[in-house]
Each structure stands twice: as C-alpha cells, then as structure tokens.
Structure 1
Amino acid sequence: MSSKLFKNPIYKYHRELLLWGIDIFIVLVSFFLAYWIKIDFEIPDFDYFNFPKAILSITTLVFVYSVSFRLFRIHKSLWKYIGQVEAYRIGMSVLCSSVVLLVCVLVSHIERFYLGIVVTGGLLSTLMMFNVRLIYRTFRKHLNRSEAAKRNALIIGAGDGGYLMLKELTQNEKYNVNVVGFIDDKKIGSVISGYKVLGDTYDIPSAVSKYDVQCAFIAIPSADKENIRRIYDICQSVKLETKIMKDTHDILDDSLKPKNIPLHDISIEDLLGRGEVHLDQSEIKSYLTDRIVAVTGAGGSIGSELCRQIVRFKPKKLVMIDINENYLYMLEQEFNRNRTHGLMDKDIEIVSIITSIRDFTALTDVFKKYQPEVVFHAAAHKHVPLMETRPMEAIKNNVFGTNNVIKACIKNKVSRFIMISTDKAVNPTNVMGASKRMTEMILQANGNNGVTKMAAVRFGNVLGSNGSVIPIFKGQIAEGGPVTITDKNIIRYFMTIPEAAQLVLQAGFYADKGEIFVLDMGQPVKILDLAEKMIRLSGYKPYEDIDIVEIGLRPGEKMFEELRLDGETTTRTKNNLIFKNNVMDITMEEINEKLKELSEVINEEASNEKIKECILRLIKDKETVKK
C-alpha cells in the first residue's frame, strides 16, 4: 500500500506543490482559530463582516508565508526525517512571517486587535506544521511495519555512531528491522532514545536467545581491529547476520536529505590489519607539502594508494610514472573526479607519465623535466610463480630498473628516495625475493652518496592488492568453489593497503643513508583460517557449501615468511610500528661486479635454473654487516 501511495504520479511529480498547499492550509486554519480565540469563540456577525478586507488579509497572509517557506526551503526536506533541523527551519520561517505581518499591521493603522491574532496564529502554525509531519512519519512507519515481518536486531555500540544507526534503521524502511536494544561495554542499563542497553558484548548470546535476534549492526567507528574481530566472532557463534558502520561523516547535506549511513557487510579487511595508522603529520608534511613528488609504479596497488595518501599532504606537483597506461589513466580520472567534488586541492598539479624504469634515458629525461624532490619507487614485478618461469624479467625490471631509478635520482639531485621492498627479500628461495634483496643491496651501496637520502621499506602481504590471495579467494567463492590453498599450515603476514602506504610515508621521513625500515606486521595469519573466514563472510559454510582444497606449494614459495636477515640488528624508531635495520657494509665496486655478472648471465640467454642459481649466489656472497 505504501509503495503505491508514495509512488503515485501526483505525489511523485508535484510533491513540493502538494506540501506547500498543505502547509498554507495549516496556516489558514491556524489563523482562523486565532481569530476565533480572540473573539472568545463567538460566531461572527456576517451582516457587518468586511469581506474585501478579509480577502486582502488572507492574500497578504498567504503571500508572506509562501515567500518565507521558499526562503527557508521548507518543502525540500523529507517529512519522514523530521527532526531538530526541520523544526528549527519551520520555527524561523514562521517567526519571519510573523515579524513581517506585525509590521504590516502597525504601518497600515489596522486595529491593534489583529496583533494578537498574528502572534497566536504563528504559534499555532508552528505546532500544527510540526505535528502533521510527526503524524506522517508515524503513518509511514506503521505502513512499513504492517506490510512485512521485521527481523529483530541489536545495535552494538551506544555512542554517537549507535544513535545515528538507530535513526537510520528506524526511519529507512529498506532495512526492515525491529531494533530491540543496544549492546555496549560501558553503558549497561542506559536508555538511548527509548531503547535500553541490554548488556555488554559478552551478553550478545543471551540477548539473541531472549529477544529472538536475527541480525546485528556494529556502530563503533573508533573500534580497533582486535575488538571488531572479537565482536564478529561472538556474533558468528550465535549465527547473527552482521553489518558494520565504517564512517559517520557528512550524514546530512545542504538539502537536508540525509545521506545513507555507510553500512557494509563485514569484510576480511575489517578483521585483519590494524586500520588507520597514527602518523606524525608534521614530519610527513615537512618533506611532502609544496614539494614535487614522483611515484614509480603509480598505477599499482601500493603505488596508487601512495598517490592518494600523498595528495592529502598537498604537494606542489605529483608525477605518476607507470608503464601500464590503463591503471594510470584510471587513477588520473579518480583525481579529476575528486577535484570536481572538492575532495582534493585544486592547486595540486597531477602529471601522468608512461615510461619504463628499464629505460634509463627516458627516466632521466622525466626527472630532468619535472625535477622531483621526493621519489617513491613502487614499480616491480611481484608474483613469485610467474617470476620463476621468467627470471630474466624479474632481474631486468626489479634489479636493473631499480638501479636506473637510483642513478636517475642521484644524477638529478633528488633529495629523498624511498623504495618499496618485501618480506620475500629475507633469505629468499625464489627469484622474485632474490631480485628484491638485490635492490636492497644496491640501495645500501648507494646510501652514502652525498646527494639523495635513501631508504627501503620492507613489509609483507597487502590485503586486496592486485593478484593477492584475497581477490583470488573472492573469485573462487563467487564461482562456488573450491577455494584452493597451497598448504594448510602455511602462514603469512598481512596489512591493509592504506596502512602500508601510511607507514611508508612515515618511514620516508627517517630516510638517510640506505636504511631498511621494517614494518610491524602484527600477528601472522594462517591461510587456512583466512579461507574459512572469507567463506563464512560470504554466507557459506566451509567444507559443506564451499570446499577448501590443498594444491601444494608453488614454485619458489616458502611456508613461512621472515622480516629480518639473521645478521641484521634492529632498532625502534619514534613510531612503534616502524623498525630500522642497520646498513649493510657493501661498496659500489662490489655491487657493480654483481650487476655485471647478472647482466652477462641474462644476456647469454642462460637457462632459468642458471639465472636463479646466479642471483641467489650473488645475494649470499655478502653476509657481513656493520656491527
């Protein structure tokens, strides 16, 4: 019934005119009642009634109130969201109308008898307009309740987020839920807008049993990942459908039409990683704000997120370098949209450059033309099995490409260079990891160059990056399974893409003479547990709806990843999530000899096995480090 009523063409296309008519009718009724009250509820003597004067008064009344309603946009707001803002605008529009009418009465020398009618009529108009809207909202809720059976729901979190969630669930019929109460660890027994806090998060199972709850809404935007995991596990233990509020900014826009609460299904990213990292903004601003910054591999997962984080610090210019034109084009379009919507400073110049880091001449020309002061190097081949089949490509891109970027930085007097490394560079057993370890050695050999401050940042797997396990598992689940894992005992370190990018920016401030910064990756995650969680998050049961199949380790893959070499000593930086490894004692002569041997082996078109043996030997030739 409600869908037919509110989708009626008359209501749909003439809504504002219809609402204006209702409000003007309310005003006329209010002033009639005010007049009747003024004459002590007597019946007027129409033989002496001045009809021309009455018509003029009514016309003036309608005109003044219509103009005021338009100025305060009374008919733009949705009645079902009636609240403090709408009440304020109604009150202000009636007040302005009353002031104008009082002035009209005073300057036109009409009997002072009408002054009281103007005041009383205004008060009655305000009360009746607001109450009509409340009745409408109650009517809508009653229709929605009668049309479909609602599921009982808990709101977890009784703070500001919980209050906003309550308004959304009770006013937005698309959720079709009946809120039975709140859950909060600190406000047990409190009452929020008429709904009681039923207990703390450990009381969820008893509340579910007592109130027959089918779904839960987590409304604690400030909660850390550990608490989200704990709450989610409790909800899953009682088979609650669970959604989460991720942000509460800008709930209302200028039109008074509330934006939808950003409510999402729990994702694996909500359960892993640590979320927003607390950065020292002043340190990062000191080397990024008003500077020319370049990012290689800008179209990739880490590179693109680095670009997004960098523009928040308002660089003078961002030079995005990549060989993949599609990814780079999409990132450029994203920034253009952000500019249009006022989400990015319009003074930041964005430059997209298609070039390969393998081409030293082209790279030097780019640096010479745009003169970057800070360079983040994220370009690399990263997929372990693919690099096992084409080791020469890993060496050409990762090793010699990185060497080109470092040489171009020093030649063009770049003040700061930060390179992205990986935990696979530690005691590598595969070509990709060995190539990244070689880049760390190149960096440290060039560290004391007297021109460019340098550092590498080493971290593990990034959630949701291109080709990582998360999107692969998602695709397999969407296809009905099976989900394939290499080994049921394999473990990996994970962090989210924004978290990794933020820590890279922070570590960049500490860059000096080729240090390797290691990010605290938290606790390692068993891939089997990850697969099971993702299947449950998709609404299926592991091994029943979606099977998990072990396929064996891929070429070059290790069971466990490490973050430090045996000989490396580590010290903590000011940021508790960033550690610094000491600089390896390696000279430019030694690194040039290694690069020469690598160049010869790939140019002679040696076998994959010989190339792999060569690079693994070269990175292990130098085990001594500064003590």
Structure 2
Amino acid sequence: MYNLISALSRRQKSYVFLAADLALLPLALLFTLQVQPLPDPALTTLVSLLPVLPYVMAAAAGMALWLGLPHVQLNAYERHAAVQSGLLAGGTALALALLTAVFGPALPSGTHVVFAICYFLSMVVARAAMLQLVLMVYRRANPRCRVLIYGAGNTGTQLAQALKAHDGIDPVAFADDNSSLQGLTLVGLPVFSPARIAEIVQARQIRRVLLAMPSQSQPRQAQITQRLQQLGLEVQALPSFAQLIGEEALVDKLTPVAPQAFLGRAARNVPLKEAAGSYQSKAVLVSGAGGSIGSELCRQVLTCRPAKLVLFELSELALYTVHQELGPLAEAAGIELVPVLGSVTDPRQVRMVLNRHGVEVVLHAAAYKHVPLVEANPLPGLANNVFGTQTLARAAARAGVERFILISSDKAVNPANVMGASKRMAELIVQDLATRPGQKTVFTMVRFGNVLGSSGSVVPLFQEQISRGGPVTVTDPNVKRFFMTISEAVQLVLQAGDMAQGGEVFVLDMGEPVPILQLARQVIESAGHSVRDADNPDGDIAIDIIGLRPGEKMEEELTLTEELVHTRHQKIFCARETVLSEIEVAGFLRSLRQAVAAGDEAAARQVIQRWVEGYCQPPQAGRKSS
C-alpha cells in the first residue's frame, strides 16, 4: 500500500481526489432522498434522476477543477479548502436544482439545501478519513519518532498541533510543572506531571523530549535538560520568537562579568615607575609564559621596554597564543620576542636558552598549580615544581643572571597538599641559592594568594557551571580565600623584583579573605539569576556544598611566623622565616629524586613530611604507585 501511494504523481493524486468527490455525489444525493419526506422511495427517486445525474457530475467536476480543490494536499486541507468544498457543494446543488426544474423530476427546494449540506460534510469527512489512512500507511512503513512536549502552554499546544501531520514526529503527551494543567487533555494529548516522565517514557516508548517553554531562563532549561538526559532521552529546545527573528543576537554577544568585579574592593593600579629600570633594556625570560600569570608578566614587562623577551613555555598551544598576542606589540616597540618551546626540567635546554639569549632577568612562573590535579598526580607535580625550579635557578646562577624571581603561592605556608609543599620546597631551593657565599645572582621570591580570572580559578568555574544550569559547587560554607587581580599581582611582583637584595620572601597585601559561598552568590546574581535555596525554592541556580577536596584548607595563610617587615612599597611586605642549610636542601632533593625515580608516592610524601614545615599528609595519601 505504501509503495502504491508513494508511486503516485501529484497529478495522479489530484485525479484520485476528484474521483472521490464525484463518487460521493450520488451517495450524498441518495442519503438526502432517504431523509427527505418524498412520495416515492429514495432509490426510486434516484433512478428517475439518472438522466440528469451525469450532467450534474460533469458540472461538479468542472467547478472542482476551477476551484483547484483536487490539487489541495491532504495535510493542507484546512479552513480555506473547506470553504472551497462548501462552494462546490452549493454549486452542485444549484446545478441539480436547475437541471431537475428543466428536465424533471422536480424536487422540493428544501431537498437541494439538504443535499448541499450532506455533500459538503461527506467531502470533509472523506478528506479526514483519507488523511488518517495515508498517515497510518506512512507510519507503518516509516515509524515516527515519538516525542513528549515539555510545556503545555501556548507554545507547546501550537507545537503539538503543527506536529500532528508531521511525517517523522509523533507527539504523544505533554509534561508541565503547572499543577492546574496536569490531568487535562489539550489538542488531544494528555498533560502529565514532570515527576511521571520516567514512567511515561517507558509506557509510551518515547525517545525524545521537546522543550516548549522559551520564556524560561537558560539555567532552568539547562537543569531540565540535564535531568531528562539522565533518563537517556534526546532533548531539543524550541527557540523563542525573539531568537527566531534575531532579536537575541545581541544577548549572545554579551560576555560574563569580569572576575575583577568580585574582588570586594577597588582594584589597585600600581605604576611601575622607577621599578621598570630593573627590566628596561634587559634580556628577560619568563617561564610558564603562556599561563595566566606568565602571560600577564610578559605584557607588563613589555611596557618596561626590555631589549629581549624570551617566552619559555611547555604547552605548544599556550606558547602559540601568547606569541600571537604579543608579537605585534613587541614589533611596534622594537623589542625582540623569542618563543621557546621546552621544559624547565630539561637542564641542557635551560642552559642553552640562558646562554644563547644572554638572559639577565628570570621571572619563574612555570608550575603545576591546580591543587586536586597535583594531589592526584604528586610525582609529576613535584618533578615539575621542585626539580624545575632547581634546574632553572642553578642554571641562572651559573649563567650570571642578574635577578631570579620565583612566583610562589600562599599554599606554600603550612601546606595541606602536595602542590603547596612543592612550592615551599621551591622556595627553600631559591633561599639556599640566595645565601651561598659569593652569589652574584639576586634570588628572591614573591608569595601571594588566588588570582581572579586565572585558568582554573573559582570565578570562571562558577560562570561555566552557571552556563550549564548549575549547580554551583562550593567545598565548604565556611571556606575563605585571599584574592587579587592578575594585573595587581604582576605589578607588585615586578615591584618586589626591583627592590630585592637577595633571599627575601616578599608577601603581597591581599586585603581581607573572601568567603567562597558569598562569592558564589555574587557570581550567580551578577549573571542575572537568583540563588535556589530553602528561602527561595523557585530560584534559578542551586549552590551545592561538596566538602573539602583532598589537600584543601578552610583558610590559607601568607606567612609561617606572622612576622612581616614593611618595605618601601605599602602593599609589599617581607617575611622573616627560617631557611634550611645547603646540606639539608641537598639532602631532601636527593631523597625526593630517588622517590620520584622509583615512582614511590609514599616515599615522596615522607620526604615532604620531614622537610616541609607544617605539612599535614591527607589520610588517603601515601599509596605506592604501580
């Protein structure tokens, strides 16, 4: 049957419709004669009309073709086509009245009116029946995708109405959060509660859900989508009218609020002024040049007009990105920009780069800094952060570099994680080199807290979670962190590098620590959404408390002793902390190298436990890798 219908041409289908309409004419006339009070039986009267019936049918065929009724597709047979059917029925009744008046037998005038009504209704019913028959044939040959429409408002009902004649989609039910709609039947489809979706999907073999609620916020739609996808359903969203006509194009171009807006204080601008002299006309190397801190160091060093800037980076993509950005700026300023792809743990390459480019200042920002990742991969983290610092610092001393500035972290103070411990060990290495007799290189380090907007930092993470519909995850409601902007941190680092005499641990003024829960609320509200909690159960974005991750602390510290000495810059302090002897540093480096070479995480953590003040090994740590 499907092959027969699909093989018919458009013209052949028109002939079928015309033949059906003409076949209905005598049937409608017979029914009219049957219900009319006539002196003779209906069949006898119909036989007496046989001489004029062919002329009536010919007139009906001509009018049908003139009106274009046979050319109307079944799925397009709606109000306009029904009017055409009404005109055809009326015209045919008029032709019958004229012919019977001239040639007989004469019929009562009311008979012609009833005939017109019967003929019109028969054509409409026949079209509807043919449509259902054809749809049934097509559905058996090509099974349609059964869909659930989420949202039974105007958009949802209009969508269901439009899809009923669709060849490939079969709407079977609605789901809606509005309890007043649940239990009703709209456009022939039942409305269910979203809580019953799993049951409905299984019972009605639904494979796809269409979200028909464009007025809902994006986070709300994203939450519903996530829940439905967990049931194994394909989810598609109907765009809003504003999206269809392009009014929301501007919205797509809007960017999230800059992380600096969540600092809780005014961002400081710290002009370098005379500090720029330590970098002007010098060959400066920035390790980790493609990272968040490293790239900003490169930007601000360029403003000091160095003779040469060496971008030392392990990641090819990061190096390419920062080189593409800084290339035009360096060219315009007449500064030589040198991209170097490599690792600070490679002694041969480090020596070659320092000597070939005559490096005079090293800003060492290369490090693995993400606490959970380093905690899960302690040996690579230690190798990069500790041995990389040792390799680069020793090579700098041998090459006669003037200044070596280590970028450290507040997590190095009483560390609760491997990343912080590795940064503390890097500090001890730099302090040891700084105190050696006859040392010409000025070794120093700058310690500060979290930087807003850096890769993997909390604000971009929150913004990404919000874009997915939430929830926003906070480790603990009482956790606090120090924050400053990337620009602030780098300006102060360069200031500290200028005032360094050797061996100092510079600590930046970070302001007051910021509660992360408060920060999460600010980021949600800045995105135009509300927080969903016990006080506001209908809010857009929930905040989930997931517990502290391995190696995380409730609050970070900036010094080991709380003894801070003021410097000539009001936002830079110098910490007084004890240092290890050269023999002690060599001892922990030897033990750590043996542990890393053996792939023994437990031994590596034992080295940290012994030599890093304040380190507390997490309970789950200490396993030996295979």
TM-score (norm 1): 0.55
Give the one of 331, 336, 344 matched to 1:357. 344
After superposition, where does 1:467-506 map in structure 2 within 5 Å? 467-506=456-495
Give the one of 582, 586, 597 matched to 1:588. 582
The code of the aligned residue for 1:525 comes to V
Question: Aligned to 2:578, what secondary structure does the other structure show?
Answer: coil
Give the structure 1 partner of residue 447 of structure 2.
458
| Alpha-carbon offset, residue 583 of structure 1 | 5.3
The code of the aligned residue for 1:616 comes to Q
| Alpha-carbon offset, residue 621 of structure 1 | 9.6
Give the one of 543, 549, 555 matched to 1:548. 543
Question: Aligned to 1:413, what secondary structure does the other structure show?
Answer: coil
The percentage of aligned residue pairs carrying the same residue is: 45
1:528 counterpart = 2:517:
yes
**How many angstroms apart in 2 are the aligned matches of 1:584 and 1:279?**
32
Give the structure 1 partner of residue 304 of structure 2.
313
The code of the aligned residue for 1:617 comes to R
Label 1:274 to 1:441 Cα distance change in 2 as closer, same or farther (>3 A).
Answer: farther
**How many angstroms apart in 2 are the aligned matches of 1:265 and 1:321?**
31
Q: Which runs of 5+ in 2 are unaligned?
A: 1-253, 533-538, 616-626
After superposition, where does 1:17-96 map in structure 2 within 5 Å? none
Give the one of 594, 611, 616 matched to 2:604. 611
Question: Aligned to 2:573, what secondary structure does the other structure show?
Answer: strand
Label 1:573 to 1:279 Cα distance change in 2 as closer, same or farther (>3 A).
Answer: farther
Give the structure 2 partner of residue 573 of structure 1.
567
Label 1:467 to 1:395 Cα distance change in 2 as closer, same or farther (>3 A).
Answer: same
Give the one of 318, 327, 334 matched to 2:318. 327
Give the structure 2 partner of residue 255 of structure 1.
none
| Alpha-carbon offset, residue 537 of structure 1 | 0.4
**How many angstroms apart in 2 are the aligned matches of 1:587 and 1:618?**
12
| Alpha-carbon offset, residue 512 of structure 1 | 1.9
Question: Aligned to 2:504, what secondary structure does the other structure show?
Answer: strand
| Native 8 Å contact 1:459 1:518 kept in 2 | yes
**How many angstroms apart in 2 are the aligned matches of 1:266 and 1:590?**
48
| Alpha-carbon offset, residue 390 of structure 1 | 1.3
| Native 8 Å contact 2:259 2:460 kept in 1 | no
| Alpha-carbon offset, residue 513 of structure 1 | 1.9
| Native 8 Å contact 2:362 2:404 kept in 1 | yes
Give the structure 2 partner of residue 212 of structure 1.
none
| Alpha-carbon offset, residue 592 of structure 1 | 0.4
| Native 8 Å contact 2:354 2:399 kept in 1 | yes
1:275 counterpart = 2:237:
no
Give the one of 582, 602, 610 matched to 2:596. 602
| Native 8 Å contact 1:268 1:533 kept in 2 | no
**How many angstroms apart in 2 are the aligned matches of 1:425 and 1:586?**
15
1:289 counterpart = 2:280:
yes
| Alpha-carbon offset, residue 451 of structure 1 | 1.3
**How many angstroms apart in 1 are the aligned matches of 2:550 and 2:577?**
31
| Alpha-carbon offset, residue 310 of structure 1 | 0.3
| Alpha-carbon offset, residue 277 of structure 1 | 2.5
**How many angstroms apart in 2 are the aligned matches of 1:279 and 1:455?**
21
| Native 8 Å contact 2:407 2:446 kept in 1 | yes
Question: Aligned to 2:340, what secondary structure does the other structure show?
Answer: strand
Label 1:609 to 1:355 Cα distance change in 2 as closer, same or farther (>3 A).
Answer: same
**How many angstroms apart in 2 are the aligned matches of 1:448 and 1:345?**
40
Deviations 1:355-404 (A, max 9, x none): 10111111011101001110000000111111111111111000010000
Q: Which runs of 5+ in 1 are unaligned?
A: 1-262, 623-627
**How many angstroms apart in 2 are the aligned matches of 1:267 and 1:491?**
20
User: Which 4+ stretches in 1 moved above 6 angstroms?
Assistant: none
| Native 8 Å contact 1:457 1:516 kept in 2 | yes
| Alpha-carbon offset, residue 610 of structure 1 | 3.7
**How many angstroms apart in 1 are the aligned matches of 2:391 and 2:424?**
16
| Alpha-carbon offset, residue 501 of structure 1 | 0.7
Alignment RMSD: 2.0
Number of residue pairs matched by the alignment: 354
TM-score (norm 2): 0.55
